[in-house]
Structure 1
Amino acid sequence: MARKEQLLRRLDEIGGSLEQRGEALLLLGVGSVGVEMERIDDYSDLDFFVIVKPGYKQQYIERLDWLEEVCPLAYTFRNTVDGYKILFEDGIYGEFAVFEEEEMEHIAYSEGRIVWIDPHLANSRLAEIAKGGRRTETQRREELDFPLNEALTNLYVGLCRYARGEKLSAARFVQSYAVDNILSVLHLLEKEEAYFPDVFGEERRMERRYPSFAAQVGDMILGYERTPESALHILRYLEEAYPVNTRMSVEIRRLADQLNHSR
C-alpha cells in the first residue's frame, strides 16, 4: 500500500474509533494530512487534533485505547500536556493533541482538514474554527536591518567563542543563529517559489522555496570543526545582500583567517 493511502486510511480508522465511543466531537488532520495532501511522500507522518466533549480530555490523554483499537502502539512519548508523539507497530509515526472545544480559539495551528466530525456539528462554529486554523506569530521579518545586523554579530561572537575553544557554542552562533536570521528575511532577498511555506519554521522546504539560497547554504554549515570557514561564507553572503558595516567585516574576516591559519 502506498504511504499516502496508508496514512489517510489510518486517520479514517482513528475517526471511526472516535465515532464509536461517542465522546469526541471532531478529528482534524493538519500538516501534510491536512489540506496539503499533495506533498505526502514516503517520509510523511500523521499530525492530528482530537476535539472531545467537556470533561473527557484527560481520559483521552491518559488512556490511549482509542488508538490501540486501531493498531497497537510500539512507542508513546507524552511531549506536551495536551498530547503525544507515537509510533504504531506497523511503522506509522504520528503526533497528536487532545483539546476541548473552548480551547480551539487559543491554540496555534495551520489550516486543517476535518477527517471526522459529529454529524450534528457539521455546520457549527467549531467546524469553521477547526478548518480555518489559527496562525502563530510568524518567524518572518519585514525589514533587513535588525536580522542581518544580528547575523553579523552572531558571526563575531561565534568566532570569539571558537578562539576560546568553545566550539559547540561557536557552531551554534555561526551555523545556526546567523543562518536563522538570514532565513527570517530570505523572502526579501530572493523570489520565493510557491511550495507550502510553514509559519512554524522558515527552514521547512527551503530547498524548493529558495533554490538559489539552497545552492549556497551548504557552505555556511560546514560542521563543528569548520566554523571559521562557515563564517566567511556567511559574511560574503551578507555583504552581497546588505551594506554591512566595514569595520565589523574587517574584524570578522581577521578572526576567521587567524583561526583558519592556526589549525
Structure 2
Amino acid sequence: MTGSGPDPDSAALAAFDAYTRRVVGWARSEPRVLGVALLGSGADRGRIDDWSDHDLLVLAEPDAVAGLRRDLSWLPDATAIAAVGHEWHDGVKVLFDDGRVLELGITDPAGLATFPIAAAAVVYDTGPLAAGIAAARAGTSTRWLSEPADAAAVLLVELVVGVGRVRRGEHLSGGNVIRSEAALTLADLLVARSGAGHPDPFDGWRRLEAVHPEAAERLAVVLARAPEDAARGILELAERLLAPGWAQWPARGAQAVRRQLGWLS
C-alpha cells in the first residue's frame, strides 16, 4: 500500500546514519582518535534494516586504547547503556535501554594489522585508517572449507556421532553436533555445489537465505525437530538436494548411516 508512511528500511537507515554521525562528531573532537570505520552490515548500506547493529572500529593512539575500552562514557547515548560485555579478544558488546546493539573494536595501528576484516566503510580518517584496513583485509583468513566430496563424508560421520551421543544420553552435546556441525556442513555443501560464493566469509549461516532460499527454509523446518528426527531430516535433505547427478555423493556411506542408526525402513 502506498502512502502508508515511510519505508521501514529507510527509517532504519536514517537512524543508523544519525548515530554514525554522532560517533564521527565525537571522533573529530578527540585528538587521540585516528579514525572510525563501519564493519558488518554498516559496510553494505543495502543490508541495513531495523535489526542492524552498529559494528564500529575505532583506531586510536596506542596510549588511548585501554582507556577507551574500559570507560565507554564517550559513546553517544552512554547514559542509556543497559549492559556491557568485554570479550576475551578485546571486543566490546553494548546493549542500550531501547534494545539497540553496538559491537565495538578499539585498536591502534599496530593492532589493526592483525584485525580480522572482510569489509569496511571508513567514515572518519586522519590518515592511517584506510591503508591499515586495506592491509588487514589482505591478511584476513576466512573460513577454511573442505572439498565437497570430503565434506559429504564428514557430514555422514557427524550424523552418526550426533545421534550416537543422543542415544547415549548426551542430549546437549549430540544435539549440538546435529544442529550445528552437521547442519552447517550441509549448508556449506549447498553453497559449494551451487558454484556461488558464500555471502559471508566468516559465518556459514549468515544470509544463507539470500543464496538458497528454498533449501534454507527446508533446513530451518528440519532443525526445529527433535535431535534424532533432525539428523534424519538432514540426511534426507542432502540426498534430495545434493545426490542427484553428483557422482561423488557417498551413497555407500549414506547407506551405512541408515544401517547403523536403524533408518532403513
Give the TM-score normalised by the residue count of structure 1. Answer: 0.83
2:256 and 2:90 map into 1 onto residues whose CA distance is 48
After superposition, the Cα gap between the structure-2 partners of 1:74 and 1:243, relative to the gap in structure 1 and judged at 3 Å, is closer
SS, match of residue 96 in structure 1: strand
Gaps (5+ residues) in structure 2? Answer: 1-9
Letter in structure 2 aligned against 1:243: W
Q: How many residue pairs align between the two structures?
A: 249
Residue 249 of structure 1 corresponds to which residue in structure 2? 254
Letter in structure 2 aligned against 1:115: V
The answer on whether the counterparts of 1:113 and 1:131 sit within 8 Å (CA) in structure 2 is: no
Letter in structure 2 aligned against 1:145: A
The answer on whether the counterparts of 2:85 and 2:93 sit within 8 Å (CA) in structure 1 is: yes
After TM superposition, the structure 1 = structure 2 runs for residues 98-137 of structure 1, keeping only pairs within 5 Å, are 98-118=106-126, 121=127, 124=128, 126-130=129-133, 134=137, 136-137=140-141
After TM superposition, the structure 1 = structure 2 runs for residues 4-43 of structure 1, keeping only pairs within 5 Å, are 4-34=13-43, 36-43=44-51
After superposition, the Cα gap between the structure-2 partners of 1:169 and 1:37, relative to the gap in structure 1 and judged at 3 Å, is same
2:80 and 2:218 map into 1 onto residues whose CA distance is 44
1:186 and 1:145 map into 2 onto residues whose CA distance is 12
* Structure 1 stretches of 4+ moved >6 Å: none
The answer on whether the counterparts of 2:152 and 2:249 sit within 8 Å (CA) in structure 1 is: no
Q: For 1:106-150, what per-residue CA distance to the aligned partner results, in whole angstroms no more than 9, with x for missing partners?
A: 1111221111122xx2xx5x3223267526333253621221111
The answer on whether the counterparts of 2:112 and 2:133 sit within 8 Å (CA) in structure 1 is: yes
Residue 205 of structure 2 corresponds to which residue in structure 1? 203
2:88 and 2:119 map into 1 onto residues whose CA distance is 21
- RMSD across aligned C-alpha pairs, in angstroms? 2.7
Pair 1:75-2:78 in alignment: no
Pair 1:181-2:185 in alignment: yes
SS, match of residue 249 in structure 2: coil
2:221 and 2:77 map into 1 onto residues whose CA distance is 48
Give the TM-score normalised by the residue count of structure 2. Answer: 0.82
Q: Which range is displaced more, 41-50 or 180-189?
A: 180-189
2:256 and 2:22 map into 1 onto residues whose CA distance is 60
Gaps (5+ residues) in structure 1? Answer: none
